[in-house]
Each structure stands twice: as C-alpha cells, then as structure tokens.
Structure 1
Amino acid sequence: MPLSEQEQKLLDEMERHLYRNDADFVSTSGDRRGRPSYRSIALGSLVVLVGIAALVAAVMIQQPIVGVIGFVVMLGGVLLAMKPSKNAPAPSGESARQARTGNSRGNLMDKLNDRWDRRQDNDR
C-alpha cells in the first residue's frame, strides 16, 4: 500500500532530521581530543607492563598493598597511552562550528548530509 502525500512528506522530514542529528552526533563525538602519539602509546604500554609485574609480584609475596599499587600503575599507563598528542589541538570555538557546518574542510558525512538536504529542497 503506497504512502499518502502527507505521509511521504512526514517521512522525508523525519529522514532529514535523522541525518542532521546523526551528523551533529558524529561531529561532536568524533576526534575531540586529537590522536594519541606513538610515543605516549609505547610509554603507556611499558608502564602497564610494570603494573602487571607489580600485580603478579603482589600475589607471589601475598601483599595486597603492592597489588593495589600495581593496579594504580596500570591505570596510569592506560591513561598515558590514551593521552592526545600536543601537535593536534582539539577543535574548539569557530573551527569546530565550521567543521560541523561544512564551511571548512568538514568530514564526509557532513558533506553528504548537505548534498542530501539540497537535493531534497530542490525536489519540492
């Protein structure tokens, strides 16, 4: 059974809002903080290995405090590995807005959403 004209318009409007909201979500939840550097990943992995060694040593010598310290060291290593590089600052203010609206480089989804919106506006 085909949709009525009103139902089709409503469906088109819902699709536009969905694509627009998805583009906003992708642009706001994407690479906010930048990418971690290889150096911080390597150093963080080394720190995690030291924490694992401390945890294993704590089990062997039956000292829970050493195990807790090992766990904290492991957590610090993970945080260090995820630390963003200083060369890629986070987009903020005007540049973030431009990236979302497509005025700057923007991402592929933003460009595709803009093209979709223009195509839908031209069909009316």
Structure 2
Amino acid sequence: MPLSEQEQRLLDEMERHLMRNDADVVSAPRDGRTLSYRNIVYGTILVLVGLGALVVGVSTQLIVVGVIGFVVMLGGVVLAVTPTRGLARAPMDASARPASKPRANSSFMDRMNERWDRRQGGS
C-alpha cells in the first residue's frame, strides 16, 4: 500500500532529523573521555606479560608467580579499557555556535505528535 503525500513528507522529515541527530551523536564527545591507543597498547603488553607469568607460575607450581601474573593481566585489561580524559575543547565564539532550537526540551516524537494533533484538529 503506497504512502500518502503527507505520510511521505513526514517520513522524509523524520529521516532527515534522524540523520542529523545520528551525525551529532557520532561526533559528540563523551564527556571529554576517550580511549587512548597508548593505553590499549600498554594494557595489551601487560596482559601478555601477566599471561606469561601465569603460565610460568602454573608450570613451575609457584602459586605466588601465578597469582602475580593474574593480577598483572587484570591490571592490563583495566588499563586498556579505561577511558582517559581528553583535551579540553576551546570554547566556541558566538558566531560559531549552532543555532539553538526553540523547543529543545521536548523530544522529536512529542513534536511530531503535536503537529499531527494540530493537523487532525484543524487548528
């Protein structure tokens, strides 16, 4: 069943809005915290060293070496997945700021429902 002209316009508008918001979500900083490749590399090296110590501890039956190896592995994983504080962004001047939306506190679906009700009510 084909969409009516009004439904097609609404669908196109929703798609444009979604694409615009998805781009905003992808480019938005996550509170200035990002994964560091350096920490990932160091964490991977620590995991490999800890794994080696764990294998040595198990093969020589030195439990202390195995436990230390496990702790080093755990520390490497934590180091690799912990986000680091990124550089603070310089504040934008007034001309570079994006235009603010008049009703930013209401969700997209709320605005769509309001528009739909207005169209159906004739007001």
Q: TM-score, normalised by structure 1?
A: 0.50
Structure whose CA Rg is larger = 2
Q: TM-score, normalised by structure 2?
A: 0.50
Relative contact order higher in (CA < 8 Å, ≥ 6 apart) = 1
More helix as a share of residues: 1
